[in-house]
Structure 1
Amino acid sequence: MTAEVNPQLEITEIADRVSRMPARESSGARDFDPAMAAMGGRALLFERVTGSDFPLAINLWGSYRRMEHALGCAADPRGISSIGARIASLTKPVPPRTAREFLAKAREFAPLLKIGPKRVRRGPCQEVVKLTERNEVDLTRLPILKCWPLDGNPTAVGYPIDARAAGTAAGSGRYITLAGMHTVHADDRDAARPASHNIGMYRSQLLGPTSLAMHWHMHHDGASHWRSWKKLGQRMPIAICLGGESVMPYGATAPLPPGISELLMCGFLHGRGIPLVRAKTVPLWVPANSEIVIEGWVSTECGAIGWHPDSGEPLGPGAVFEGPFGDHTGFYSLPDRYPRVEVSAITHRRDAIYPTTVVGLPPQEDYYLGKTTERVFLPLLKTIVHDIDDYHLPMFGCFHNAAFVRIHKAYPLQGRRVMSSVWGAGQMAWTKMVFVFDANAPIHDEDAAMRHFFAHCDFLRDVVSVQGPL
């Protein structure tokens, strides 16, 4: 699109409207999400963004067909389910009975030797280097979006503090929404190859030309790393990486078990290791093929979350009152105290494109990323909970609030056991509602599934309420 567009609200309106239009159909998605298999609209490239030095791409991962291309499985008629099938074969290997089967199994496992990250001396992401110490960094020249009218305005959601007092006014409610945040645990600060290298996809609020606010949930690895640096009394290095290999955004969102690197997952999906180059101003390695990398230091002077302007406690050093933020539930997540990031450098390709996404009521790009996780991790969930035949994360649950689980029912009240098992399975612990269905339930047709639920559920016997972590 060659017409000039504004990053504050206008791009969101266009992208939100387009994302609800038809798209090229995915034959594989018809099996598990027939209502959305041919939806998602087109990917959009805005060549002229008001006040920005870079073009902007959005809705890149906003359909099943584009997800298949991004993850390298577009040629397989099963689509993203084929990745789950590969994982199932690797997690449940059958011992070879003949020499031919042995060679076939060796060929299946051989690619795993190539999926680790590869370090290189230079990369496209550092074709242009801008340093804060040379007064070259200006984050406001990036086409960072303001998605919703009340973003960054705490007064508008009932708090007795405005954006200026919150420390966020200069950013005008604009947020980075589609970046991989690279961090390491403080225990690995001197390690040549830190095992804790983590990539998380968190939001970051623009504060000014050289500063951001870092938001993460306390149970995420990024927050755990931050607490480790806070314990030492040292600021935490961070690299905020945009773009790169098409598998990177998905890898950053994948709910991997502790100790399993997102870089390995990305390498597995990509078919070879992700090349990394040493950052310019922080002790981290970053994806060499990124479009843009923002390097900086996260303050650890910031106090804990749970701060309120009426508490009588000062906001404190190294902190801002981040938010509110229009979230994927269709509501604003409320503001709270989060640490500042002081940016030390921006590096980028000469012809860099800024990738971003709208976070809002589904379906948006994160809907398709979430449904990809549903299919990719089904074999692992079935390994943990053997009763499960299939599951579906309905759109109304916004990915983590509801799950339809279909089981091989063998005895009365088996669903109670399955429910508890699901809540003990990694990030499934955050699921608010678990619906357990028997083998003939149409769980991938949400209307039909709910009719099945109301027809068969005895509310006095079958509804169980527990106190969860959220």
Structure 2
Amino acid sequence: MAFPDLRSFMALLEERGELLRVDAPISSDLELTEIADRFVKSGGPALLFENVRLPGGDASAFPVVIGLMGTRERTALALGVSDLNELASRVRALIDLKGQGGVGGMLSNLPKLKDAVHLLPRRVCRAAVQEVVWRGDEVDLTRLPVLKCWPLDGGPFVTLPLVITKDPETGERNMGMYRMQVMGQRVTGMHWQRHKTGTKHLEKARQRGQRLEVAVALGGDPALIYAATAPLPPLPGLDEFALAGYLRGQRYPVVKGITVDLDVPANAEFVLEGYVDPQEDWAVEGPFGDHTGFYTLPELYPRFHVTAITMRREAVYPATIVGRPPMEDAYLIEASERLFLPAAQLVLPEITDYHLPPVGVAHNLVIVSVRKGFPGGAYKVANGLLGLGQMMFAKVVVVVDDDLAVTDLPAVWQRMAELARPGRDTLISRGPIDALDHSSRAWSYGGKLIVDATRKRPEELGSALSSREEQSSAAVGESAFRPQTSEELPTFEGVLAQRQTPDGYWYVALNKTRPHQARELAAAFAAHLAAAGMRHLLIADDQTNVENPDDVWWTILNNIDPERDVEVRGELLTWDGTPKLPEEGFVRPWPPKITMTPEVKNRVDSLWHVFGLPQRWR
């Protein structure tokens, strides 16, 4: 199903009971975030806030819609499929073009090529997004209900922007989703990280001595909003408009900007037009409560100068929030998984499936299942994945056999404990790391860990194996691990809580107060009798709930550089997921986890009934 614009999708959601209108006054400063966060984490409907209060108390002229793709089902609906798995089938059908079989074989490609025609956008002369135009002194970003999402944020941030640029040399178009901190009435930050296409376009503009024109769309067909987040392969003619056109089954309508020579979505709600000057000093941007669940700390980024704002009459401001998983972005990531699985299988045909679970916040953890045909096949696939596009940012890759569902995290952890012997079946390497990763040895560069949790062939076993390992390498059966009771577990300075699990994991929450405390704990615990039968010792910070494996893994994966923090100690693999201190050689500030203030939480609790919100989502 194609949606002419955002509001047609909203209308369908409301018809299905998947969008809730809130007419009570809600502040754009933290209050709206606290409500939206509760709804997305409990699988609630999207929210349309019709009475948003700006900082200072004035009412915004524009309502805010949030959580449009906040469930797997709504994301599938937005992309025109009944289930996200259909995305892989559609792409597989498109790329499976036949070049043999004479005329009949070639004719069989025609329906697929007809689909490919939809990849080209369609230029229109008049567009709803240009019904109202602000220029010059009329341009005022503070009139938009831009959200301040989390308490330590450096200001309000545009969180769902579709940022459009054009390569100054080739003219190739790019659209990406980069957060934008509002820094004044006509200025925002532009969070172009070093690996992003926008940064490359800006550098080319600098070399040519010119400004880079930029347009930022808010809203449009939800397929286009998704496309701006998708890690597209570098193929000629394939851009985000093309992907949205393919997903919606018709060419995407675009219109020329009012003050910039860029095509913009004709059916967007707003478009911010302007430029970035590569000769201008960069501005301090942040902090920002990011999709990792931690704050990214202040850094220097380019400034975006707004020359015009165009919009529809009665425009709706679309937003999202990111933070501790699960959040709305988890379903966008899942859509990308399904969409690009066939492309990954073209390069690495052994892959049967892969998954980026929410605890890994996209880049920190990849689970991949394979049909292993020869010794070392797991490493072949893992290293191949680390060379594919944005997979280069992956920090931990776990490879399992194809009889295991990659989305079943408890089963994956059990298989990893049973079949992956620390040292023998683990491999540390280095490579590019996501620029938002706060724990890497250097900014955007750090360690990686590959874990081979497949059944082993004789050549992979080595010579010194216990009978249990030999048996588990051939067939996975009952877990042999026997956890200790809390009374039997050892004590250590700063340990606030600890738990062992039947599948061989030892979770520890540590209040770290001095350098090397976690490493000393790892050595002491690994040598203790309680370590017998354990496979993984996970040392997390003092805010971690050891009774919740997802909370433990989310903290660990965010807080490790595998080369520095993952060590083999006998039969145990120890993971140091505590904050690193300057005395330990870590020179960058360590960011806090995102939490809402008690005052905002209490205010929302006390006004929940006044806001007219259903108790089931509270």
Q: Normalization by structure 1: what TM-score? A: 0.84
Which residue in the other structure is 1:242 paired with?
218
Counterparts of 2:314 and 2:104 in 1: how far apart (Å)? 49
| Residue 239 of structure 2 corresponds to residue 261 of structure 1 | yes
Structure-2 residue corresponding to 1:179: 161
1:71 aligns with 2:76: no
Quote the offset at 1:178 in angstroms.
0.5
Q: C-alpha distance in 2, partners of 1:140/1:16?
A: 23
Shift of 1:269: 0.5
Q: How does 1:146-295 map to 2 (within 5 A)?
A: 146-152=148-154, 173-188=155-170, 194=171, 196-258=172-234, 259=236, 260-295=238-273
Equivalent residue runs for 1:32-43 within 5 Å: 40-43=43-46
Which whole-Å CA distance do the structure 1 matches of 2:407 and 2:288 have between them?
31
Tell me which moved more, 196-205 or 104-113.
104-113
Letter in 2 for 1:326: G
The answer to whether the 8 A contact 2:118-2:242 is kept is no
> Which one-letter code corresponds to 2:126 in the other structure?
R
Report what 1:313 is aligned to. none
Say whether residues 1:61 and 2:69 are aligned partners.
Answer: yes
Give the 3-state SS of the residue equivalent to 2:344 in structure 1. Answer: helix
Identify the residue that residue 167 of structure 1 maps to in structure 2: none
Distance across 2 between alignment mates of 1:60 and 1:256: 22
Cα contact 1:57–1:356 (8 A) shared by 2: yes
Point out the more displaced range, 390-399 or 92-101.
92-101
Residue 402 of structure 1 is matched in structure 2 by 365
Deviation string for 1:199-238 (max 9, x for gaps)?
A: 0000000001111111111111111111111112222110
Deviations 1:164-222 (A, max 9, x none): xxxxxxxxx1100101000011114xxxxx3x110000000000111111111111111
Distance apart, 1:439 and its partner CA: 2.0
Q: Deviations over 1:351-395 (max 9, x none)?
A: 110001001112111110001001111111111111111111111
What is the count of residue pairs matched by the alignment? 405
Larger mean CA deviation between 441-450 and 402-411 belongs to 441-450
Shift of 1:448: 1.3
Counterparts of residues 317-336 of structure 1 (less than 5 Å):
317=281, 319-336=282-299
Shift of 1:412: 2.1
Counterpart contact for 1:7–1:145, Cα < 8 Å = yes
Selected match of 2:134 from 113, 130, 134? 130
Q: Is the 8 A contact 1:96 1:105 kept in 2?
A: no
For residues 291 and 412 of structure 2, what CA distance do their matches in structure 1 show?
A: 23
What letter matches 1:108 in structure 2?
K
Does 1:14 pair with 2:45?
no
Q: Give the superposition deviation at 1:10.
A: 0.6
| Counterpart-to-counterpart distance in 2, 1:208 and 1:296 | 14
* One-letter amino acid of the counterpart of residue 29, structure 2: Q
The residue identity in structure 2 corresponding to 1:245 is D
Corresponding residue for 2:92?
88
Q: Partners in 1 of 2:128 and 2:299 — Cα distance?
A: 37
- Quick check: 88-97 or 116-125, which moved more? 88-97
Paired with 1:447 and 1:114, the residues of 2 have a C-alpha distance of 41
SS in 2 for 1:223: helix
Q: Hey, what's the Cα distance between the residues in 2 that align with 1:198 and 1:251?
A: 11
Q: Distance in 2 between matches of 1:392 and 1:340?
A: 36
SS where residue 45 of structure 1 aligns?
strand
More relative contact order, 1 or 2 (CA 8 Å, 6+ apart): 1
Within the alignment, does 1:392 sit opposite 2:355 as a pair? yes
Of 317, 323, 341 in structure 2, the residue corresponding to residue 378 of structure 1 is 341
Give the deviation of 1:94 after TM superposition: 4.2
Matched residues in 2 for 1:277 and 1:442: separation? 44
Where has structure 1 moved over 6 Å in runs of 4 or more? 98-101
| Contact 1:138/1:209 (<8 A) preserved | yes
Moved more, 96-105 or 390-399: 96-105
SS in 1 for 2:359: helix
Secondary structure at the aligned position of 2:368 is classed as: strand
Please tell me the residue identity of whatever aligns with 1:138. Answer: D
Q: Cα offset for 1:114?
A: 3.1
For 1:341 and 1:423, locate their aligned partners in 2 and report how far apart those are by CA, in whole Å.
33
- CA deviations on 1:29-77 (whole Å, 9 max, x unpaired) are xxxxxxxxxxx32110000111322100000011111111111113xxx
Question: Which AA in structure 2 matches 1:50?
Answer: R
Contact 1:237–1:282, Cα closer than 8 Å, also in 2: yes
How far apart in 2 are the matches of 1:275 and 1:112?
16
Helix, strand or coil for the counterpart of 1:198? strand
TM-score by length of 2: 0.64
Q: CA deviation at 1:400?
A: 1.5
Say which is worse superposed, 93-102 or 341-350, in terms of deviation: 93-102
CA–CA separation in structure 2 for the residues paired with 1:341 and 1:281: 14
- TM-align CA RMSD: 1.5
Aligned residue in 2 for 1:143 = 145
- The amino acid that maps onto 1:447 is P
- Structure 1 position 414 matched with structure 2 position 377: yes
Task: Tell me if structure 1 keeps the 8 A contact 2:98–2:105.
Answer: no
Equivalent residue runs for 1:92-131 within 5 Å? 92-94=96-98, 104-131=108-135
Give the AA of the match of 2:160: L
Q: Is the 8 A contact 2:87 2:335 kept in 1?
A: no
The CA deviation at 1:97 is: 5.3
The amino acid across from 2:251 in the alignment is G
Distance, in Å, in 1 between the alignment partners of 2:330 and 2:34 is 17
Q: Give, in angstroms, the shift of residue 406 of structure 1.
A: 0.4
Q: Compute the displacement of 1:98 (Å).
A: 8.9
Please tell me whether the aligned partners of residues 384 and 425 of structure 1 are also in contact (alpha carbons under 8 angstroms). Answer: no
Equivalent position of 2:590 in the other structure:
none
For 2:25, the equivalent position in structure 1 comes to 4
Distance 1:102 1:442 in 2: 37
* AA at the equivalent of 2:260: V
Rounded to whole Å, the distance in 1 between the matches of 2:249 and 2:116 is 8
Cα-to-partner distance string for 1:95-154 (whole Å, 9 max, x where unaligned): 57598776553223212223301111110000000102xx111100111111111011xx
CA contact (8 A) 1:405 1:434 kept: yes
SS in 1 for 2:182: strand
Task: Report if aligned partners of 2:40, 2:327 keep a CA contact under 8 Å in 1.
Answer: yes
Q: Secondary structure at the match of 1:468?
A: strand
Aligned twin of 1:300: 278
Worse overlay, 338-347 or 440-449: 440-449
Q: Is residue 2:408 matched to residue 1:445? A: yes
Structure whose alpha-carbon radius of gyration is higher: 2
Measure the CA separation in 1 of the matches of 2:187 and 2:125: 28
CA distance in 1, matches of 2:346, 2:300: 39
Counterpart in 2 of 1:362?
Answer: 325
Partner of 1:45: 48
Report percent identity of matched pairs.
42
Preserved contact between residue 48 and residue 66 of structure 2 (Cα < 8 Å): yes
Q: Match of 2:79, as an amino acid?
A: L
